[in-house]
Structure 1
Amino acid sequence: MSSGKERSATRQQAEHEPIARVLPMLSVPHLDREFDYLVAAEQSDDAQPGVRVRVRFSGRLVDAFLLERRSDTDHVGKLGWLDRVVSAEPVLTPEVRRLADAVAARYAGTRADVLRLAIPPRHARVEKQPPTDPAPLSVNPVDPAAWSVYGRGERFLAALGDGRAARAVWQALPGENWADRLAEAAAVTVSSGRGVLVIVPDQRDIDAMHAAAIQYVEETGVVALSAGLGPAQRYRRWLAVLRGPARLVIGTRSAVFAPVGDLGLVMLWDDGDDTLAEPRAPYPHAREVAMLRAHQLRCAALIGGYARTAEAHALVRSGWAHDLVAPRTAVRAASPRVVAIEDSGFEQERDPAARTARLPSMALHAARTALERGAPVLVQVPRRGYVPALACNRCRSVVRCRHCTGPLSYPDRDAGGAVCRWCGRGDTALRCARCGSDAVRAVVVGARRTAEELGRAFAGTTVITSGGDAVVPAVPAAPALVVATPGAEPIAADRYGAALLLDSWALLGRQDLRAAEDTMRRWMAAATLVRSRADGGVVAVVAESAIPTVQALIRWDPVGHADAELDARAEVGLPPAVHMAAVDGVPASVRTLLDTVEMPDAAEVLGPVDLPVGARRPPGIPADSPVSRMLVRVPRGDGLALATALRRAVGLLSARHDQQPVRVQMDPLHIG
């Protein structure tokens, strides 16, 4: 067998443009740049921009993408050869390449990390299958009547049909079939000859959107992409998008990079869902990537939801997007009646059933009324399982272990007493250390425990639980108590007669930037499944009525809530009013990185603090090493400058090899 040097000696370089500029898929930040290699004559036909190649780098073979062919090089010295062209399929399109560059710059990351998110792993057998010749798609006509309720909704559809870059934030009415409305917007765009990309949070939303889309667009032109597909099926569908037959693409967060040809419309549903934030470096959010893509291509964009995030509202306030909101008369007609009920111990003492079910009497009355009318009742609880923590019923202080101060909980219904979640010791005689009361309550009672309590209070009524790995997709229009965690609420055939929103203080009381916004989104997602007030639908939220988030739910005013949320964040200097970077790592490395950064003049450094509870440790740091976080805050106009400076500093530290890795996140979803 001949050696690599012998093969190189016998190779002839390509006659035309013999230089290939490639981007190696390396995880090292300081090597995030292009390198030049020689193209052999026998490789020339396949070695085209966008294909996967293998190159020898520092003595080992690595994967790379070929970015361009050139006739010259600025490299001083001898060039190596392309080892081989892995595939002649140009999987990296110029549009996706520009998007990857922009995302890496926006999030202070490397292009290799972005491309790993954007392009799925190759499946050779699937790739060798001959492509399907694209055929003209038949698109059913769209009736714009349903969009006419939303003010300028018909004008928005008309703009899509004309190929204009219309951008809007859509506030869906309660009970609205959001998938049908998005399918109509997609059909109008596809009928004009352009592609459409729809990003949704999870598989259940993909299924709903796909079912709605094929009512308008021929099924051969619709592709659903998700992480749950097997490698072969995922790559087959992705190739259908790349090669052209698919014109309407539906998917979860990674599908935002899908190579849709002649993209005319990008749509995003429920942008406040946590699953749209990528947990892998450089941690981009699908909303920001979608808006970057719409900006680069000057195409239309639509962000929709029952609730509204501060980020989406900031787009409206800046003038980048228009509002699509129904008039108040339409909102009142479609929404259920929302009542706030304080968790009164006096009421529970008067009503034994209320005490058993841990509910105020008024909430129980609303549930009983709906059940008597033959409708199911939805009960939303923040968690699944049993009681994870206990608090004093009088002063609400968390009850803690006498030995280690850990939180106490009831592990299951048969436990003889509370058990510490840290040291495992039991305590059968609970007493509040602050006020001395021996009455305790659950901080958050899970779905299973709530179902048992409601089953005792409503003897003879069917109780259904949905959450975690046991999500129930739908329930019939029959009397039943449906206990679900947020995001796992089943669809009722004729909508719910009532909904009970429990443990609101556990949601609103979280020490999190987005606690109020996320609570509003979860409540509205449940409340929109309830019948309108004209049909007797009632939503009972167990919370103090004076809380602004509760008031916004009662008025069904997500726009006003987002407006107030954006103002509040601007006052205290939090995203999206500013850009903020979280720098996590061992204290010495974090300090070294920040000393290296050439900060924008207006930058403000905050910290250090311990890594917030619940935040994942940066990769590559030993489990026993302390991890701290420092925050860097800049005005909106300096966000890209800060990301560029941090990206450069991470590269410099990476090249030195004397520091432990540091994680940089731009505008992280949860700051702490």
Structure 2
Amino acid sequence: MAEDAPVARVLVDIGLAHLDRPFDYLVPASMADGAVPGARVRVRFAGADHDGFIVERTDSSEHTGRLSPLRRLVSPEPVLTPQVAQLARAVADRYAGTVADVLRLAVPPRHARTEKEPSPAPTPAPSRPAPGGWADHRHGTALLDALADARAGARPPRAVWNPGPAAAWPDLLARLVATTVSGGRGAVVVVPDARDVARLDTALRDVMGEGRHIALEADAGLAERYRRWLRALRGSVRAVVGTRSAAFAPVANLGLVAIWDDGDDLFAEPRAPYPHTREVLLLRAHLAGAAAVVGAHARTAEAQQLVETGWARAVEPERSAVRARAPQIHTVGDEYEQHRDQAARSARLPSLAWRVARSGLQRGPVLVQVARAGYVPALACARCRTPARCSRCPGGLRLSEHGGAPTCERCSTPAPSWQCTECGHGRLRAAVVGLRRTVEELGRAFPGVQVWQSGAEAVTDTLGPEPRLVVATHGAEPEVTGGYASALLLDGTSMLNRQSLRAAEEALRRWLRAAALVRSRPGGGEIVVVADPGVPAVQALVRWDPAGFAARELAERAQLHFPPAARVAQLRGARGDIDELLRLAELPAGAQIAGPDQDGDTAQALVRVPRSSGTSLAAALRGAAGVRSARRSGEPVRIQIDPADL
């Protein structure tokens, strides 16, 4: 055995709640030098070999029995830093999960050949950049000054940032990162998808120069992604930008964490313990004493709560700058338009939208944002408007092409002779019109005009300034040189009427993201939003007031005791397993339980507690899950704390 610190404490990769702790193993003499804290090892546990990470080397163990030796040193590279290990524990506690599950998200798979390659030497820190667009923001230059101040004990700044219309958000984020790095500290920025990573990657090179940051993205491939990750681990770079998993990037001396467009559902991790990237970054900022910036065109209720509790300060442009840069925004249901077009409220493309599109095409490209991909993704009875359902399963019917037979969206069963179960009518109408059908209709309505589409099947990043109609689903809108001349925001009513806690918040987020691509009003930019003009989300778009809408949304959720004003756990599994888990859980006082109710093949229950009891709720559910796993009782119950939607 090793002479010095012969005991290694190992986090074993076993995702069982009752085994969520380090276990002690002896370090053989042959591994004494390589078995360092953070190294990957193989150990024997319960009669099988498992992967694990060493978290500590000690002289003794509290275990009274015989210790097993480490089976194999997989790699001496200390891939699990103490800071990331601490963060993983905090995330597991926050979301009633296990550290092993979090580490699967935090530490990428090993690529042995890449690990043997040397990493480049660190590049010198860049000089502090000019404020750029931050000079137009209230508290913008103060935020930059605080990021540049790397003095020990200085209070880190925390900001909720809305850049306003026509803002070059990648450049503004890049200046935050460069200012932080110029002061000798590291930065981590997380964005929703690979397109946003590419935009920010370009901006960082423009502001900081080559070789001073890395971009972590899945498209780079296993070897290249691991190579870049090792550069951050070994200190070759101080700045990391990437998608969801980049929140755990092993950046030393962390000075800034930032997230862009935190309302995007891509930030909701689909794997246990289902953490939200925003919350991971806020936990990391707290543990590391780092600055935190939550930025987006819109503002979520969670971001507004950070402002109202005083944890963060709002950073946004002056109202005069917002008015100067915002496009002119029309609604279709006002009194004048009702008098001019009697179908303005009900038509998918009222006459105002046609007029704005024709006028915009004389000046440049026109954006048409639609809610859904496909041809006709949802059908309904032509007489009573009842949603058309499959006869074999609960799935809805859809059309995949013009003249085709309706088919089920779930099981693909054709329904050529469908009849309404409510009124017996046999004809169908489009309940939702998709991307391809919209392209087809606009092509007929605007002969001689190019109609470009960008959606899930093929996303276009950028286009030139030539006049054309650009039909895109949300998040797939191409950027165009000089901005769009006008934009039509369709399907607003269907988005607002979704049965979702975040329906209005998500609709405004999509609209503001598209509106930010349109020219200013002085530059001729116009937008038509096809939705009820009296809805708060529409009014917030017209005023370009994401903060006011978020304050209203948060107040309404507080009255209803919904997140983020309260903490909610969603339990999914077999009804008997959920009942047992709730019996075992020592829930905090005041906990409200709804269900379990059957939801298809599984049951679901909700547990709601005041926000101050959130930690106790997670601990109670994790403890009950540990008892069940130790007893090998039934099947696991999926525990999701504060799900992105209810």
Q: TM-score, normalised by structure 1?
A: 0.91
Q: 1:404 to 1:325 in 2, by over 3 A?
A: closer
User: 1:437 deviation in Å?
Assistant: 9.2
- Give the corresponding residue for 1:36: 24
Q: 1:315 to 1:403 in 2, by over 3 A?
A: closer
User: 1:226 deviation in Å?
Assistant: 1.5
The letter for the 2-side match of 1:245 is S
Q: Distance in 1 between matches of 2:555 and 2:495?
A: 21
Q: Distance in 2 between matches of 1:154 and 1:358?
A: 44
Q: Does 1:413 align with 2:388?
A: no
Do the aligned residues in 1 keep the contact of 2:571 with 2:640 (CA within 8 Å)?
yes
Q: Does 1:666 align with 2:641?
A: yes
Task: Tell me which of 303, 306, 313 is aligned to 1:312.
Answer: 303
Q: Does 1:371 align with 2:353?
A: no
Q: Does 1:117 align with 2:105?
A: yes
The letter for the 2-side match of 1:413 is H
Do the aligned residues in 2 keep the contact of 1:169 with 1:323 (CA within 8 Å)?
yes
Q: Distance in 1 between matches of 2:14 and 2:456?
A: 36
CA-to-partner distance for each residue in 1:250-306, whole Å, 9 max, x for gaps?
010100000001010111100001111111000011100000000111111111110
Do the aligned residues in 2 keep the contact of 1:147 with 1:153 (CA within 8 Å)?
yes
Secondary structure of the residue aligned to 1:228 is helix
- Give the corresponding residue for 2:77: 89
User: 1:440 deviation in Å?
Assistant: 6.2
Q: 1:369 to 1:437 in 2, by over 3 A?
A: farther
- Give the corresponding residue for 1:649: 624
The letter for the 2-side match of 1:575 is P
- Of residues 293-302 and 388-397 in structure 1, the stretch that sits farther from structure 2 once superposed is 388-397
- Give the corresponding residue for 1:183: 174
Do the aligned residues in 2 keep the contact of 1:390 with 1:398 (CA within 8 Å)?
yes
Q: Distance in 1 between matches of 2:645 and 2:26?
A: 46
Secondary structure of the residue aligned to 1:592 is helix
- Give the corresponding residue for 1:621: none
- Give the corresponding residue for 1:216: 207
Q: 1:595 to 1:475 in 2, by over 3 A?
A: same
Secondary structure of the residue aligned to 2:460 is coil
Task: Tell me which of 369, 381, 400 is aligned to 2:370.
Answer: 381
Q: Distance in 1 between matches of 2:387 and 2:277?
A: 37
Aligned ranges for residues 436-455 of structure 1 at < 5 Å?
441-455=429-443
Query: What is the Cα-based RMSD across aligned positions, in Å?
Result: 2.4
- Of residues 457-466 and 145-154 in structure 1, the stretch that sits farther from structure 2 once superposed is 145-154
Q: Distance in 1 between matches of 2:581 and 2:421?
A: 45
User: 1:77 deviation in Å?
Assistant: 1.3
Secondary structure of the residue aligned to 1:535 is coil
- Give the corresponding residue for 1:514: 502
Task: Tell me which of 237, 240, 244 is aligned to 2:235.
Answer: 244
Q: Does 1:333 align with 2:320?
A: no
User: 1:349 deviation in Å?
Assistant: 8.9
Q: Does 1:172 align with 2:163?
A: yes
Q: Distance in 2 between matches of 1:403 and 1:282?
A: 34
Q: 1:234 to 1:404 in 2, by over 3 A?
A: closer
Task: Tell me which of 121, 133, 140 is aligned to 1:146.
Answer: 133
CA-to-partner distance for each residue in 1:124-151, whole Å, 9 max, x for gaps?
11111123332423x2442224212111
Q: Distance in 2 between matches of 1:345 and 1:427?
A: 39
CA-to-partner distance for each residue in 1:183-202, whole Å, 9 max, x for gaps?
11111111111111110000
CA-to-partner distance for each residue in 1:542-589, whole Å, 9 max, x for gaps?
111111111111111111111111011111111000110001100000
Q: Does 1:262 align with 2:253?
A: yes
Identify unmatched segments of 5+ residues in structure 1.
1-12, 613-625
Q: 1:66 to 1:332 in 2, by over 3 A?
A: same
Do the aligned residues in 1 keep the contact of 2:348 with 2:530 (CA within 8 Å)?
no
Secondary structure of the residue aligned to 2:10 is strand
The letter for the 2-side match of 1:210 is D
Q: Distance in 2 between matches of 1:350 and 1:601?
A: 53
The letter for the 1-side match of 2:138 is G
Secondary structure of the residue aligned to 1:116 is helix
User: 1:378 deviation in Å?
Assistant: 0.4
Secondary structure of the residue aligned to 2:607 is strand
- Give the corresponding residue for 1:622: none
Q: Distance in 1 between matches of 2:84 and 2:207?
A: 28
- Of residues 512-521 and 336-345 in structure 1, the stretch that sits farther from structure 2 once superposed is 336-345
CA-to-partner distance for each residue in 1:348-371, whole Å, 9 max, x for gaps?
8999xx99x951111100000011
CA-to-partner distance for each residue in 1:516-556, whole Å, 9 max, x for gaps?
11111011111111111111211101111111111111111
Q: Distance in 1 between matches of 2:221 and 2:127?
A: 31
User: 1:227 deviation in Å?
Assistant: 2.2
The letter for the 2-side match of 1:377 is V
Secondary structure of the residue aligned to 2:467 is coil
- Give the corresponding residue for 1:533: 521
Do the aligned residues in 2 keep the contact of 1:392 with 1:432 (CA within 8 Å)?
no
The letter for the 2-side match of 1:640 is T
Do the aligned residues in 2 keep the contact of 1:167 with 1:320 (CA within 8 Å)?
yes
Q: TM-score, normalised by structure 2?
A: 0.94
Secondary structure of the residue aligned to 2:103 is helix
- Give the corresponding residue for 1:615: none
Q: Distance in 2 between matches of 1:656 and 1:350?
A: 64
User: 1:607 deviation in Å?
Assistant: 1.4
Q: Does 1:293 align with 2:268?
A: no
The letter for the 2-side match of 1:591 is D
User: 1:390 deviation in Å?
Assistant: 2.6
Secondary structure of the residue aligned to 2:25 is strand
Q: Distance in 1 between matches of 2:72 and 2:395?
A: 58
Secondary structure of the residue aligned to 1:426 is coil
Secondary structure of the residue aligned to 2:640 is strand
Q: 1:71 to 1:337 in 2, by over 3 A?
A: same
Q: Distance in 2 between matches of 1:101 and 1:185?
A: 28
The letter for the 2-side match of 1:647 is R
- Give the corresponding residue for 1:101: 89
Q: Distance in 1 between matches of 2:420 and 2:24?
A: 72
Identify unmatched segments of 5+ residues in structure 2.
none
User: 1:217 deviation in Å?
Assistant: 1.7
Do the aligned residues in 1 keep the contact of 2:348 with 2:491 (CA within 8 Å)?
no
Do the aligned residues in 2 keep the contact of 1:348 with 1:359 (CA within 8 Å)?
no
Q: Distance in 1 between matches of 2:296 and 2:373?
A: 25
Q: Does 1:464 align with 2:452?
A: yes
Q: Distance in 2 between matches of 1:389 and 1:135?
A: 54
The letter for the 1-side match of 2:61 is T
Secondary structure of the residue aligned to 1:249 is strand
Do the aligned residues in 2 keep the contact of 1:390 with 1:442 (CA within 8 Å)?
yes
Q: 1:395 to 1:566 in 2, by over 3 A?
A: farther
Q: 1:350 to 1:650 in 2, by over 3 A?
A: closer
CA-to-partner distance for each residue in 1:63-108, whole Å, 9 max, x for gaps?
1111111111111111111112111111111100110010000000
Task: Tell me which of 584, 587, 597 is aligned to 1:599.
Answer: 587
Q: 1:93 to 1:252 in 2, by over 3 A?
A: same
Q: 1:418 to 1:88 in 2, by over 3 A?
A: closer
Q: Does 1:202 align with 2:193?
A: yes
Secondary structure of the residue aligned to 2:432 is coil
